[in-house]
Amino acid sequence: MKVALVFLLLVGVLSAATSADWAARLDRTVRAVQSEFSAPQLNPAQLAITVIDLRQPQAPRRADYRGAERFYPASVIKLFFLAYTHHLLANGRLADSPELRRGLRDMIVESFNEATSYIVDAITHTTSGPEMPAAELAAWSQQRGVVTQYFQALGYTNVNAQRKTWGEGPYGREKQDMAVHGPARNFLSTNDTAQLLQEIALGRWISPACSSEMLALMERDLTKAPTPGVDEEGLSFTAPALAPGMKLWSKAGWVSWARHDAALIGLPDGGRIIIVTFTEGREHASNRAIIAAVARHLLADLPPITP
């Protein structure tokens, strides 16, 4: 099963060929967005974007701007916890249950950190708690790293999924492990995130059924009216850039110094585009317009589909 999955993922990566058309359009988008958001200035190091054009699923095209750079992912890391959960379920290494499904739903649909903590415990067989002696902590840390190790074995180069997501912050062995066994924080790149989205979108993550279940949790209701002044999953990030008739599957992440969205966009004609945008900087983290501006520029400048 693992060998077959590695093969499928490598096929997906290779088939997403770098496109000169998309690279040119992405370059124009970056320059336009940096010009638009100049007070305070959105600096090059504060932005990363990866786009994958799935309008021809048999031959995806891609481009990226700083796509291999590592960012603190905030809640975007929950996509990787979801993907690893489905790997365990498919291989009979994790018992399915209504409570597990409730946790997955609340982790992705609502982005609840409490649900994420439960899922991380379930899939890594580790738990939070008091500090530990050094030898026990080393074993605990190795076991907590199973999600990261799994993605590294599949060729993902910029995924660290070692840490839970927090509201108030880590305590006990979680804090202890951050100090002793670095890196202290999770990280992702837009390239690795877009790669996972591509596999899910094309029905190749584990199986078409697993991929469909994951997409169902990521689907956003664009008919809902956003709550003024409130960051909402699926509504406050890429969604404002979408025209009537478009669809959205996404996972956002935001903290006081970073703001991200991993979006799969359904076009009115049935085609799909992946746009993953990461931004950082405390001066930009509350700006709800930057990520939407990236998507708006890219969707307005779609290159033609070539035979």
Residues 247 and 216: beta-carbon distance below 8 Å: no
Tokens 């291999």 identify what position?
68
Query: How far is it, in rounded angstroms, from Cα 90 to Cα 79?
Result: 17
Query: How far is it, in rounded angstroms, from Cα 4 to Cα 240?
Result: 39
List of long-range contacts for 246-252, beta carbons under 8 Å, 24+ apart: 246/222, 247/219, 247/222, 248/219, 248/220, 248/222, 249/201, 249/215, 249/218, 249/219, 249/220, 250/218, 250/220, 251/75, 251/76, 251/78, 251/79, 251/108, 251/111, 251/218, 252/75, 252/76, 252/111
Q: HSE on the CB side for 227, CA within 13 Å?
A: 5
Among left, alpha and beta (phi > 0; psi -120 to 50; other), residue 234 is left
Nearest to 258 by CA among 74, 31, 58, 68: 74
Give percent helix, percent strand, percent coil of the chain, each to the nearest 5. Answer: 45, 15, 40
Query: How far is it, in rounded angstroms, from Cα 265 to Cα 189?
Result: 19
pLDDT 10s per residue in the chain (307 long)?
A: 343 444 344 434 434 789 999 999 999 999 999 999 999 999 999 999 999 999 999 999 999 999 999 999 999 999 999 999 999 999 999 999 999 999 999 999 999 999 999 999 999 999 999 999 999 999 999 999 999 999 999 999 999 999 999 999 999 999 999 999 999 999 999 999 999 999 999 999 999 999 999 999 999 999 988 888 888 888 999 999 999 999 999 999 999 999 999 999 999 999 999 999 999 999 999 999 999 999 999 999 899 887 6
Query: How far is it, in rounded angstroms, from Cα 261 to Cα 244?
Result: 20
Kindly tell me the sign of the dihedral angle through the C-alpha atoms of 32, 280, 160, 85.
negative
Q: Where are the domains of the chain?
A: 1-69+190-307, 72-188
Torsion angle, alpha carbons of 232, 236, 242, 248, to 10: -40
pLDDT at 5: 45
DSSP 219: B
Pairing of strands 258-266, 247-255: antiparallel
pLDDT at 307: 65
Query: How far is it, in rounded angstroms, from Cα 262 to Cα 77?
Result: 10
